[in-house]
Amino acid sequence: MCGAKAGGPDASTAKPGETTIQGSVTRDGEPVTGYVRLLDSTGEFTAEVPTSATGQFRFYADKGTWTVRALVPGATAERKVVVAEKGSLAEVAIAV
């Protein structure tokens, strides 16, 4: 299950008890709009969400090792995320 809230996610709007991976995409300190993909530990595509106007994104996932890949005009960047506990919140900052 995944999703992104319009206007950008914050910790107070995360679903209680859900394992959440969220963050923002920036270029030179400014928010960037585009898409963010969630890949599993084998690199397999799992989900994709658009960033909000403030460059933010959110996925609901299971514990494990994930790759979060930002796809924005003129650039791509990715970060590995390890979620050790079910129900935890992982924050990810991606600079492109």
31 located within any domain:
yes
In this prediction the pTM is: 0.82
For 32-78, write each residue's pLDDT tens digit. Answer: 999 999 999 999 999 999 999 999 999 999 999 999 999 999 999 99
Structure confidence at residue 28 as a pLDDT band (50, 70, 90): very high
14 located within any domain:
no
- Token pair 């658009």: residue: 50
For 72-86, write each residue's pLDDT tens digit. Answer: 999 999 999 999 899
51 located within any domain:
yes
User: Is 90 exceeded by the pLDDT of residue 3?
Assistant: no
Q: How many domains is the chain built from?
A: 1
8 located within any domain:
no
Distance, CA of 79 to chain centre: 9
CATH of the domain at 70: 2.60.40.10
Contact 60, 27 (CB under 8 A): no
2 located within any domain:
no
Q: Which domain holds residue 72?
A: 19-95
pLDDT at 17: 76
